[in-house]
Structure 1
Amino acid sequence: MLMPFPAPRAFRSCTASDLLWHGVAIVVCLLAGSLLGWYSDRFWVIGADSYGMVGLIVFSYIGSALSSRRGLSFAKTDLLTTAFVSILFWFLLTSAVLVLSKRYFSRTYLLGAFMVALLWQALQLRLQKPNRYRLALIPGGLADALPGLGSIDWQILDTPRFVQVEAVMKDPYHTSDPQWRRFVAEQSLRGIPMLHVAAVYEGLTGRVSLEHHSEAFLEGWRLPVLYPHIKRLTDICAVLLSLPLGLPLMLLVALLVRLDSKGSVLFWQERVGQGGTSFRMVKFRTMGVDAEKEGSRFARSNDDRITRVGRISRKFRLDELPQFWNVLHGEMSIIGPRREQAGFAEQFSKQIPLYPYRHMVKPGLTGWAQVHHGYAAGADETTEKLTYDLYYMKHLSLWLDMLIVFKTLKTIFTGFGAR
């Protein structure tokens, strides 16, 4: 029986020393807040009026520590990013609870606790080395693409022979030789797990192998029951909270678009959404008014159809700000696969296996594929982006969405993948 792949970035199970480390960290977080807020005796000596805030800080630290471990189970994540995103999320949640409850609290106290928690957990992740697996690899098929990936001691087996490893990996589609089949059976009798190379490839690259999931993808995946509703509520709150900053920015971009070239400020186009249904997506116009008079086509690097303002707004994703309307309307989410033009979606559905499955979730302003691959122009690049989209769907969760948000901010500041 093929076993699931244990993420190579996952750490050992929690030990007594880990509990002691985090216990000391919680005490230091509370003391740091008191030291920074020494001028307020309400927080230097913990009293009845501060129990609520202190309890929330303890809760936030524990939640962030657990979330960091969960975040490291995803592919293409690093230690510091995971710790920062996790701690920031939980302390922002604590701040929101304190503000909504209208209880008195110290912002200095919260800031001090946040900084100590970040430094403490980052130090622990640096000192505590992740597992380095020793894996045996039976050559053939997708297995040939694995050597060199990840911090793994690869043992490539040229002939069936016994090696001391944690697991043996094989591609069932290319392991039909009787000698290898007998070898696999012998390893199983020794208690050595058998890993599917597709699962290992997915855990190391953040992508799904289309070849190995063409028949079984839907059998092992179902849309979570509760999280889509949480995600919808989060989308609405995020859009509404961003309006004080977003509206002035959108007005500025709209003015620049109007001054830069003739034509409408907004551009409406039919896109394919969840379930394959069509909707009208809105964005700021970035091309000339006659850009698609000869039909739709992918944007190229240095495309002469793009206006001066359009080139800047595309680079920093400012042209997509009006899509907050589509998010509020329920046609899109903030995070999901890229929304594709109806004509291209129909074309790719015929050319690329599994392509229609990306429509099982709402398209998004950003997503796992967008932050790792960027813009796709053509069937080949779209196929590669699909491998990221399917990974996102299989691992759909709050923790993965948090990582995507952080990576998106990095993408916006660097202009990665824009055309």
Structure 2
Amino acid sequence: MKKILGNSIIAHGLGLIIAMTYMLLTSPYDFGMLPKTVENSIIICLIGYLVSANIIPRITRYLLVERKYYILPVMTTVYAVIMALILLSRFDYSRPVLIHGFFISILIFYTLSLLLKEERKLKLAAINNFNFQDLKANKNIQLEELVDFGHLPNEEHDGLVVDLHKKLSVEQARFVADCSINNIPVFHSESIREMVEGKVQTSHLSENAIGSLQPNPIYKGLKRVWESILIIATFPITIPMMLLTAVLIKIENPGPAIFIQERIGQGGKPFKIYKFRSMTVRPKGAESKFATEEQSRVTRVGKMIRKVRIDELPQFFNVIKGEMSLIGPRPEQESFVKQFEEEIPFYGYRHMVKPGITGWAQTVQGYTDDTESTTEKLSHDLYYIKHLSFWLDMNIVIKTIRTMLTGFGAK
């Protein structure tokens, strides 16, 4: 049964049948006598199901994450967009049918994620010319070491993994070539490790490899458009929230509500970043410090707005001005940039894209406050630049919502 369901088309075909059957059975009308509102709503729910089924695997391929954690936020977003389109177009619909369709679809997705957990593991055959114990320990990878090179990996394997930069025996080299000729995917071990860990190994990076970090120029333009539209669309909610925050800051502590500081942006160019002030006013000429060293200056309002990231909302205007993106590497102060460029190889390459309000490193790693953790952060930033895409950005958006709800990485 699991083998049959392992085919996504079959699994979601059954899911659609179950969802449609459920909505028909829960409808108070006889089949064939359904009013237009019910028919429209059933079609809308099926479209929502198909859209979600297409989006979830695209988002969850990063870090080989479990899909069940993304089902609810993806489906909620899809239905929110659908409802917005319905209201704008004045399309006739049935609210009970949409509610039933939403919850039965979530139930189906969760059930399939549990049933197919083993089937969706990345199954790889491995040539033992690299240390793959950490890959083998990953719960989302099934690794089988090859001892016989007389037979190609069977259909149960998703491909072959090997360190292509290390020397292979004549037999192993012939085997890798045979796999390629027979359309069996051959993965470099560092590519799989990069996929699992969500970071580029900077210790193995060379100037010749920097070309692979160039982001897609077409998507960079589209990213600017969709981020600006999203920010403007949320202004009816965020503007009142910002006004209230500014008032609370002014009431609690004397000084400006907005904190303006120079940061380094795309291409190493400085710009002024806007944030809500979350600390007492710092004396003029005071030395720049990491946030962990300034905890004593954090106000009560500041502690609250930092935890849920409200202090970052004024940066929406940095995005509108084109100085920042919603998503990208976090911008640093010039003094820290100069320090890290001297201590960390390739640090300047994180300035290939616009800095962001949130980013891959923040959602995966959290806050950094020293050279060692910043080196780790750089490897995540370079991974983001290398794999920059709409689906990775959506992954980060969902992780950021989790961060706002849990306070992960707040300082």
| TM-score, normalisation: structure 1 | 0.82
Q: Could you say what secondary structure the match of 1:279 adopts?
A: strand
Distance 1:276 1:122, change over 3 A: same
The alignment yields a C-alpha RMSD, in angstroms, of 3.2
Q: Give the conservation status (yes or no) of the 8 Å contact 1:371–1:411.
A: yes
Partner AA of 2:169 in structure 1: R
Q: Which amino acid aligns with 2:327?
A: I
Q: 1:110 aligns with which of 95, 98, 101?
A: 98
The SS at the match of 1:365 is strand
Distance 1:222 1:43 in 2: 55
The residue type equivalent to 1:72 in the other structure is: T
Question: Could you list the per-position Cα deviations for residues 46-87 of structure 1 after superposition, in whole angstroms to 9, with x for gaps in the alignment?
Answer: 445666554443322212111122223221522212322332
| 1:12-51 Cα shifts (integer Å, max 9, x gaps) | 5545x3353133045236437x63xx4xx79994445666
Partner-residue secondary structure (3-state), 1:340: coil
What is the 5 A alignment of 1:158-177? Answer: 162=149, 166=157, 168-173=160-165, 175-176=166-167
Q: Is the 8 A contact 1:75 1:204 kept in 2?
A: yes
Query: Corresponding residue for 2:281?
Result: 289
Distance 1:314 1:30 in 2: 43
Checking the alignment, whether the CA contact within 8 Å between 1:136 and 1:163 is kept in structure 2 is: no
In 2, Cα distance between equivalents of 1:44 and 1:358: 60
Find the partner of 1:31 among 24, 31, 45: 24
| Cα separation, 2, equivalents of 1:138 and 1:154 | 11
- Closer/same/farther in 2, CA of residues 326 and 418 from structure 1, 3 Å limit: same
Matching residue of 1:313: 305
1:263 and 1:43 mapped to 2: Cα distance?
A: 67
Q: Which shows bigger deviation, 314-323 or 252-261?
A: 252-261
Gaps of at least 5 residues in structure 2 are none
Question: What runs of 5+ residues in structure 1 fail to find an aligned partner?
Answer: 1-10
Structure 2 length as normaliser, TM-score?
A: 0.84
Q: Is the 8 A contact 1:139 1:156 kept in 2?
A: no
Match of 1:133 in 2: 123
Whole-Å Cα distance in 2 between the matches of residues 49 and 307 of structure 1?
Answer: 53
Paired position in structure 2 for 1:21 = 14
Q: How far has the Cα of 1:373 moved from its partner?
A: 0.9
Q: Distance in 1 between matches of 2:312 and 2:244?
A: 14
Quick one: structure 1 residues 308 and 182, their matched pair in 2 at CA, closer, same or farther if it must change by over 3 Å?
Answer: same
Mapped contact 1:150–1:204 kept (Cα < 8 A): no
**Percent identity for Structure 1 against Structure 2:** 34
Match of 2:82 among 78, 94, 99: 94
Which piece of structure 1 moves more, 293-302 or 317-326? 293-302
Tell me the matched-pair count: 396
Q: Structure 1 residues 231, 43: closer, same or farther in 2, change over 3 A?
A: farther
Distance 1:134 1:287, change over 3 A: same
Going from structure 1 to structure 2, the CA distance change for 1:156 and 1:46 (only over 3 Å counts) comes to: same
The equivalences for 1:266-415 within 5 A come to: 266-290=258-282, 293-300=285-292, 303-415=295-407
- Secondary structure of 1:304's match? helix
1:75 aligns with 2:63: yes
What corresponds to 2:173 in structure 1? 185
Q: Which aligned pairs between 1:199-238 and structure 2 lie closer than 5 A?
A: 199-238=191-230
Alpha-carbon distance in structure 2 between the residues aligned to 1:230 and 1:316: 28
